[in-house]
Structure 1
Amino acid sequence: MKLRAGVLLLWLAGACAGQTLGVLSKAYQAKPTAANRAALARFAAAHARDGQGGLAQLALAYGDVQAAKGAAAGAAGAGAAEAARKAAKAVPALADYALFLEAQALRSADAALAAERAMQVVALPGLSPMDGQALQSAAWALLGAGDAEGAVRVLQPNVGLLAGPTGGVLLGRALRGAQQLGAAALQFQRVYFEYPLSSEAGEAATAMAQLRLQLGSGFPPPLAQDILGRARKLISGGLGKRAVQELNEAIPELGGPEGDVARVLVGVARYFENENQAAVNYLRGLRVGSDEADAERLYYVVQGLRRLEQFDEAAAVVEEMRGRHKGAEFTMRALVALADAHLVRNEPERFVPLYGACAQLFPKEERGAYCDWKVTWQAYMTQRAGAARRLEEHVERFPASAKAGAALYFLGRLREQAGEYGVARAFYEGIVARFPNSYYSVQAEMRLADGKVKQARAAAVTVQYVRGLGRAASGGTKPDFAVDAATRTRVERARLLEQAGLSEWAEGELRFGAKNGGKGAALAKELAEMAARRGQHATAVRGIKALAPGYLGWELSEAPTAFWKLAFPLPYREALAAEGAERGIDPNLLAALIRQESEFDPRAVSRAKAMGLTQIRPATGRDLSRKLKLGRFTVGMLYQPEINVRMGAYYLRWLLSGLDDRYEAALAAYNAGKTRAVRWLDWFGHDLEQAEFIECIPFTETREYIQIVLRNADVYRRLYGGGPVAAGGE
């Protein structure tokens, strides 16, 4: 109780002074000059008696340690160690952080004492985010002092704290130094096989080669599954040629099913290197005895033929798989891959039978639900007899599927078109209750506002039918923002760290708490509030997504409005309003698009090199700059929020003007390109209602992108006001 009161007093004392401390701390971290250190030290001295001095000492120690990394060994060690000791005494609630910093500062001057301080962190009661780092710090200090056996002694009882390849290499070095060569070989093998894409894998390979010479026949042979696992990771990481080389070296030593898989993976690697014809030829000529390996072999034959657009041959191989490997996962994947290829080409006569076979053979798999929906949707779009029953069967078989809300919505539309407004109302109300904050709940709300549906009484039988469908995937768990003891401790510690200008540690404390018994919703809100105060809205959004992953399944009334505004922030509001007014675009839609594109990170850069809030590529930006008469274009302009918003709004208006002013089509073009959006309108018809057009889009990413942006726009409207986004075609 005394500790909690002390922490509270520190936090209250820092409510005003903390901002100054944070500024001084961040200035020293960004630019570790003598002047910046002196300013922080003066603050610590001036606040020695009000508790803020302890946080300032912690900030000093942190800054000194960071500065020492770029200077001569031990350059800031003495000052950092002294500051850390003062911080531990003044702010016992953060003793683990202070001890860790002291250990870091002492490593070059007194390795034994550094290791002792680091292990004190691990020995403290409760779990700390610093436990793993402190353990590694202790071991590195001991290794640096030549005490490998001491490093082994601290590492082995706490091996669970060693995460990732860095910890594995550290333990391997310690074991090797302690002459436990067999155990060291196993550790290096673990890094080499489990983390082949890491920089540590190279060190592990070198160490393994040296240990193989030392141990001779005593060197532990790698397991076949480890060899195959490494090859798969190399292939997926874009290192297929290296995988082929290693597999060819290993194949003579592998027998049975493992050898079969290795030979198949040689062809898989060629496929991933885009050597499609070579991959097909190799895999077709390969003969393996293992059913699992043969199913994988045939699957990649199908994939290679698909890329080569040899669809008849691919279909023949799929039929072969259905006969020889009826229940294999690779058969399911082959059916979906070939069906998707025909879906993109708008060939229903070919994709419907393939999806149908998938749904029939794999009714309990997630892909089975996906396949069933494709067949169901095609029945709806072609107005085939029994379409309504197909929709009912889908939602009955897959009540938790991603398309359950869609099935209910289109059941409502069918009933509405038949004049059964009470039945339609029951379906729409069921969607709103089961799938809050979803695209189809937005559409259902719009239909419920229609005069005839609004005036009808929900059909009781249909209400019971919807209620009896079972739990929806997005619902069932109510948010809990209550702060229990474990959560309170994390929040208080994070606030102190934030006051000290140690924002990364503050966020780490909250994330660690969410994984170790804390209340995720409360911790997410705290993290988002901290980030928002710093103007880091993207960090706030990402924090909520990570710590409260089910938040979109909550009703808006179930969480504080402040929480929702953190999850759906509205910075640059004036720019959005101005550009929306000038371009005739709902500002809520612009905000919704930005949230999906960049999460309001003005420095965001995508894999495709799109930049800024609305994710404009440099070539597009140059063209837009000329049209908007912004002067000489530079890439840096894309990072300026107001300019980027102006470009994004102009570009979206241009797309709207060329696509019948349909938001759904313009968003499809924004995500997948205007050429595709025009093609889809021509394929599926310009008279489709919005939800129908979106469901027809063959790209899952684009389809979900449009639904998310339109859903986001509705949330923004409810939080900040404004009219609904236009529904598009009816």
Structure 2
Amino acid sequence: MRTAFAAALVLFAIVALDVRAQEAEITVPPAPPVTLLPTAHPALPARPSDFWFVPSEFPPASTARSELPTQKFARGAKLVDSGDFAAGLALIDAADVSGTPLMTYSRYYRAKALAGLNRFSDALALLDNLEAERQAGGAGYLFAEGAPMHRAELEVARQDAKEAVHILEDLASKPSLTTPEEVWLRLGRAAEADGNRDKAIDAYRKVYYEYPLSLQALDAQSLLARLDNASLADRFTLELARAERIFTARRWAQARAGFEPLAGIATGDDKELVALRLAECDYYLDRFRASRDALQPYLKGASRKAEARFFSLTATRALGDNDTYVAEARALVEEFPHSTWAAETLNNLASHYVILDDDATADDVFKELWRRFPDSRYSERAAWKVGWWAYKNGRFADAAQAFDAGAAAFPRADTRPAWLYWSGRAHDQTGETAIANERYRLELADYENSYYGRLAGKLLASRGEPAVEGTVTIPPVLGADPVPTADVVRQLVGLEMYDAALKEFIRHEQAQHETAPDRFDHLRGAINTMKRAYPQYLAAGGEDLPPAVLEVIYPLDYWPFIDKYAKANDLDPYLMAALIAQESTFTADVRSGANAYGLMQLLPATGRSYAGKVGLGRFTTSMLTMPEANIRMGMRYFKEL
């Protein structure tokens, strides 16, 4: 186990070396040395259970005789949620959870059960108590949303829909709702029950048009079909905004279906926008010729002509007319030098040359991209490409400058471990040993538990250099705001009441103006989420994170296969593990949009060629999702590249 754990610590090397580089003559202008500092990480939680809001100990498996009160309550709550109110109420009444964080939830579920049994007065009394607690300072989802929504539901059942509307209108006006689309849908239903058709339509429209990707939008759509008699022209602005939201979410077919009915009635600027969006949807749906033809009227005089020309030239490239593509790309960059579409064009143009193995020209384009748009989302990639090309061609001063500039500009980039290490190597080549050693120390401070961190450590050790000096300490930073309902969340997780726990956590995150539920997805094994939550896993001391956290970040399920077949093919097993992490995040049955399967993302044609070579016999596509078979074929294929 110790060997496997040590192996896991170096799984995620950055596999980004462009070995096809050729010499280029353009150099990066000289610049003074860049000062690089260690990354300042938020303070880590003091208790292991705080890393992911689980209890320190889970309750033991229970029997009827040994069942804890909290377990009995959880059973009752699940029965209430399933509609078995009498059985659930009996268990909740028998579960003494007074004095625990679950006391509020016990009252809430008791109210739900009583309402389900038509004991409305008793249920209302409990909900009134919860409201009094909220006004006295009670925090969390249950107080802010759960109880008011149930109170409104109860008022509708009592034939007092008007009161339900008042409750839900007040709730809908509050910021940071966990599920605003659910609140608005309930408001619409309450208004409809109250006979207020216009208010119901407004609420249903809110759901359908502003939350088009939600499940509630499907309900709202059917309800609007029954109530809303407004013409498409009257709804044009709403329909256009809805289609734009779907387009932004990259649902191309669904977005096209939203824009298409608007084309015949749009006027002015909206007409141009709808036409462009339809053409862009066609491009993303691989209808390249139709897309390019539809864009022709908007290439010269349109207000969005840069955007139109970008998609037109990109469709031209997809149709195989490379010469026209390059000419049009260059013309767009020159005519719109400050447009974000110029940045998109340069990035795609550089990729075009990379695909053609014209790395020298690609290097020129990457430099231009970096110079013109130093803050674009492609600058990180450009910095790496420019630096590595310079290093491969012996221009070590230029390489060091590029790597240092990238590491300074993008302190959280995935390529930063590689930048720091190869900056050190480049400074070594120019005789700047002191700067090189500083880069290696910084690599250790921030990324000791990465592939490049281990290489940097070996270099420093071979030189007799100290691994860490006082100048590379991590400055203290304040930790995140505590979650006021953390104890409740832990209790709910321990009882496997995950939906309730998640709502409590989302409520806190949204109140902090963050995008939830990113940090809670680790309950489902979300590797990337855990990395974002605790980037210290790569830094010096990262091996001291709780084992449960490290096991999520470093999944070891397939390490025996990786180690076995990497060594059989004379490959570095850690490098292969990093490649698998990059390709599939260790998901054995994943299939990409390019029809590549499994851990090493192999195409069926590749599998068909290599199954016999590695002794797997007759190939079937299902082999690609079998972990061992995929790794055997993939590593042999990688060796022969």
- C-alpha separation in 2, matches of 1:330 and 1:67: 52
DSSP-derived class of the 1:544 partner: helix
| Residue number in structure 1 paired with 2:457 | 445
Q: 1:216 to 1:140 in 2, by over 3 A?
A: farther
Select between 89-98 and 608-617 the one with higher mean Cα deviation: 608-617
- C-alpha separation in 1, matches of 2:559 and 2:416: 38
**Equivalent of 2:85, from 62, 74, 77?**
77
Q: In the alignment, residue 127 of structure 1 is paired with which amino acid? A: A
DSSP-derived class of the 1:365 partner: coil
For 1:46-195, list aligned pairs within 5 A.
52=68, 54-68=69-83, 76-87=84-95, 90=98, 92-110=100-118, 112=120, 117=126, 124=134, 125-130=137-142, 131-144=144-157, 146-159=159-172, 160=174, 161=177, 163-195=179-211
Contact 2:527-2:552 within 8 A present in 1 as well = yes
| Residue number in structure 2 paired with 1:264 | 276
Q: 1:61 to 1:133 in 2, by over 3 A?
A: same
Q: 1:564 to 1:621 in 2, by over 3 A?
A: farther
| Residue number in structure 2 paired with 1:556 | 541
Q: CA deviation at 1:107?
A: 4.8
Contact 2:295-2:308 within 8 A present in 1 as well = yes
| Residue number in structure 1 paired with 2:34 | none
Q: In the alignment, residue 132 of structure 1 is paired with which amino acid? A: E
Select between 582-591 and 497-506 the one with higher mean Cα deviation: 582-591
Q: CA deviation at 1:99?
A: 3.5
Q: In the alignment, residue 443 of structure 2 is paired with which amino acid? A: I
Q: In the alignment, residue 222 of structure 1 is paired with which amino acid? A: T
Q: CA deviation at 1:442?
A: 3.5
DSSP-derived class of the 2:296 partner: helix
- C-alpha separation in 2, matches of 1:363 and 1:378: 18
Q: In the alignment, residue 163 of structure 2 is paired with which amino acid? A: G
| Residue number in structure 1 paired with 2:632 | 650
Instruction: Tell me which protein shows more helix as a share of its residues.
Output: 1
Q: CA deviation at 1:277?
A: 0.8
Q: In the alignment, residue 412 of structure 1 is paired with which amino acid? A: G
Q: 1:300 to 1:150 in 2, by over 3 A?
A: same
Contact 2:530-2:553 within 8 A present in 1 as well = no
Matched, 1:280 2:292: yes
Contact 1:579-1:649 within 8 A present in 2 as well = no
Contact 2:387-2:399 within 8 A present in 1 as well = no
Q: Deviations over 1:271-290 (max 9, x none)?
A: 12211011111102336755
Q: 1:107 to 1:440 in 2, by over 3 A?
A: same
| Residue number in structure 1 paired with 2:488 | 493
| Residue number in structure 1 paired with 2:263 | 248
| Residue number in structure 1 paired with 2:497 | 502
For 1:404-553, list aligned pairs within 5 A.
404-418=416-430, 421-449=433-461, 451=462, 454-455=463-464, 490-502=485-497, 505=500, 539=525, 541=527, 544-545=530-531, 548-552=533-537
Q: Deviations over 1:648-677 (max 9, x none)?
A: 553455346x34xxxxxxxxxxxxxxxxxx
- C-alpha separation in 1, matches of 2:56 and 2:387: 60
Q: CA deviation at 1:154?
A: 1.7
Contact 2:624-2:630 within 8 A present in 1 as well = no
Q: 1:104 to 1:409 in 2, by over 3 A?
A: same
| Residue number in structure 2 paired with 1:708 | none
- C-alpha separation in 1, matches of 2:327 and 2:362: 14
Q: Deviations over 1:164-204 (max 9, x none)?
A: 53333222222343344444333323322233334433443
- C-alpha separation in 1, matches of 2:240 and 2:344: 22
- C-alpha separation in 1, matches of 2:316 and 2:75: 62
Q: TM-score, normalised by structure 1?
A: 0.64
- C-alpha separation in 2, matches of 1:378 and 1:544: 33
Contact 2:211-2:217 within 8 A present in 1 as well = yes
Q: In the alignment, residue 105 of structure 2 is paired with which amino acid? A: Y
Runs of 5+ unmatched residues, structure 2: 1-54, 513-517
| Residue number in structure 2 paired with 1:725 | none
Contact 2:152-2:167 within 8 A present in 1 as well = yes
Q: In the alignment, residue 89 of structure 2 is paired with which amino acid? A: A
Q: CA deviation at 1:78?
A: 1.4
Q: Deviations over 1:390-421 (max 9, x none)?
A: 42673487263735554443332234345554
Contact 1:479-1:558 within 8 A present in 2 as well = no
- C-alpha separation in 1, matches of 2:218 and 2:410: 48
Q: 1:138 to 1:366 in 2, by over 3 A?
A: same
Matched, 1:374 2:385: yes
Matched, 1:335 2:346: yes
Q: Deviations over 1:593-629 (max 9, x none)?
A: 7766776778x65557988888899996999699777
Q: In the alignment, residue 201 of structure 1 is paired with which amino acid? A: A
Q: Deviations over 1:196-230 (max 9, x none)?
A: 334433443344455443x7999787358625524
Q: In the alignment, residue 76 of structure 2 is paired with which amino acid? A: A
| Residue number in structure 1 paired with 2:367 | 356
Q: Deviations over 1:63-82 (max 9, x none)?
A: 323543xxxxxxx2112123
Contact 1:398-1:404 within 8 A present in 2 as well = no
Q: CA deviation at 1:364?
A: 3.0
Matched, 1:204 2:220: yes
| Residue number in structure 2 paired with 1:400 | 411
Contact 1:507-1:527 within 8 A present in 2 as well = no
Q: In the alignment, residue 274 of structure 1 is paired with which amino acid? A: D
| Residue number in structure 2 paired with 1:312 | 323
Relative contact order (C-alpha < 8 Å, sep 6+): which is higher? Answer: 2
Q: 1:505 to 1:276 in 2, by over 3 A?
A: same
Between the aligned residues of both structures, percent identity stands at 20
Q: 1:499 to 1:383 in 2, by over 3 A?
A: closer
Q: CA deviation at 1:304?
A: 0.9
- C-alpha separation in 2, matches of 1:117 and 1:381: 72
Q: Number of aligned residue pairs: give it.
A: 569
| Residue number in structure 1 paired with 2:51 | none
Q: In the alignment, residue 93 of structure 1 is paired with which amino acid? A: P
Q: In the alignment, residue 82 of structure 1 is paired with which amino acid? A: A
Q: CA deviation at 1:61?
A: 1.4
Q: TM-score, normalised by structure 2?
A: 0.71
- C-alpha separation in 2, matches of 1:262 and 1:651: 47
Q: Aligned-residue CA RMSD in angstroms?
A: 4.9
Q: CA deviation at 1:307?
A: 1.3
For 1:290-329, list aligned pairs within 5 A.
291=303, 293-329=304-340
Select between 166-175 and 493-502 the one with higher mean Cα deviation: 493-502
DSSP-derived class of the 1:93 partner: coil
Q: 1:575 to 1:87 in 2, by over 3 A?
A: same
Q: 1:612 to 1:276 in 2, by over 3 A?
A: closer
- C-alpha separation in 1, matches of 2:439 and 2:56: 53
- C-alpha separation in 2, matches of 1:433 and 1:408: 11
Contact 1:415-1:423 within 8 A present in 2 as well = yes
Contact 1:61-1:83 within 8 A present in 2 as well = yes
DSSP-derived class of the 1:239 partner: helix
| Residue number in structure 2 paired with 1:365 | 376
Q: 1:589 to 1:86 in 2, by over 3 A?
A: farther
- C-alpha separation in 2, matches of 1:401 and 1:500: 36
Contact 1:111-1:144 within 8 A present in 2 as well = no
Q: 1:443 to 1:364 in 2, by over 3 A?
A: same
